[in-house]
Chain A
Amino acid sequence: MSIKRNLKIMYMLMKMKLQRNMAYRLSFFGVCFADGSLFLMQILMFSAIYSQVGSIGGWNKHQMLFFIGTFSLLNALNMALYFFGVISIPHKIKSGELDLYVTKPVNTLFHLSFENIDIGSVPLVFASIGIVIYAAAGMDTRVTVLTVIGYIFLILIMLVLYYDMEVILRTFPFFVIQSASIERFEEGLLSLCMRIPGILFKGAFKVLFYLVLPYGIMATIPTQFFSGILSPAGFIYSVAVVVVFTVFTIAFWKFGLKNYKSTGS
């Protein structure tokens, strides 16, 4: 399927979602308020800790702020683009609604993922960029065009990794009936990894959050790159993780789809 066609479908899905959302005006920017308050509390938390100490794990206040801004940016882009589509997958598998998607001449996963684009999360994207720029201004790093391009590239691939993780966990309902615990498990891990940078993990936790469930690298690697402390090996490692997880996600999804038991259509 061509990129042009996919973008056209995304645009149509976004238009339809926007029309539906306008019916609930208060909820329109709901995600923005909810997640905005979450990251604001995180900033306050680290401001309080940095009022007592100079650095945490070798990171100063501005690097930590940059990390928070980066995770907030990833989270906002996730919310705006595919989160609400992906989280609906388990319900559609269980209820048999998936029948409607597999019969359409559009890639099933693509349709499911992007049918609930949330424009209300876009202000949070700009707020996060604001935090990132403010934090970058306080850092000692010499910012070049290459730094910015590299950072954007890492954000984009981490967005793919974020998507991979969400889809993998929501493919399990093809095989198990009850998946609520898996989602709570993801929530617990995310709330941990969005609050502390991966550099603080050691030993088994490092293996867990850098390799098995790589939530720990999502905002840490872009922050390290921007700060100029990411080694070339670290850069290559992060790209490799994203490639491996994306290949696995596609294969796992296809395997799950083969196991889908339709509800009678």
Chain B
Amino acid sequence: MIPNLQLTEDGRLRHLLTLEGLPARILTQILDTAESFISVAEREVKKVPLLRGKAIFNLFFESSTRTRTTFEIAAKRLSADVVNLNIATSAQSKGETLLDTVANLSAMQADMFVVRHASSGAPHLIARHVAPHIHVVNAGDGRCAHPTQGLLDMFTIRHFKGDFHNLRVTIVGDLLHSRVARSQIHALTTLGCPEVRVVAPRTLLPRDVSSLGVHVHHRMETGIRDADVIIMLRLQNERMQGALLPSAGEYYKHWGLTPDKLRWARPDAIVMHPGPMNRGVEIDSEVADGKQAVILPQVTFGIAVRMAVMSILAGN
């Protein structure tokens, strides 16, 4: 990963590819700017004219309804023109390379690409080859990063908890395959969170997990004890077939967040989930719909955070 690819020579954000290596001042600028976009959504006209005349292409090589929709809404609220491309069913299936696809779209006067790809590093590859005025936003690549999800999670934590300096944050679930968790850990560490814990069965932890600066737990009781924030990760169904886990029922019993387990955390702890949820697998319905859950505010904040990212990029 080359962190400098995403910064200009004078240290401003040019592309958003990963939160790894981004300084706290840029993360904070994005969160502060997002704060101002929240109020735009409460108005009669939920649009500002910032990106009028700009063309934003959503390139989703892997499907994701929620992420694509929130990027689309964010771009439209900035008055940009949005083009959604479902690449799985288009030119790539006819054999066109990724860079040829991007070159063709650039020839259609694109100003920004929002890229979701199953392969780690695909947005970086695009960022290295686009013209200087074009910006690239990573909307999730392989197991690597999902920076806007990480940012909206930080926005949510800051919104409910004020700041990061006295917080104990626990991330529970499939860290091995999660690009979301990596982005969250980088952001939390950069923003000064003193204690980040991860809880997962050994088979779902990456080998380098301790090098990320987190405390590793295998049992929920120790992992979420006195936590201020609990982030549940989605357990992807296909992991069941890979012999990484015995069964969904077994997973729920040990690592699913139930009202009983939630009592180990602080009474004012918030529960987050990047979605889509598997009720009865990683999270109990009573918790998901309970008063400590902030899962739907996460979605709302995601629009403001993506507006902030796109407007900062387009102006740099």
Query: A and B from one assembly?
Result: no
Q: Which residues of B contact A (CB under 8 A)?
A: none
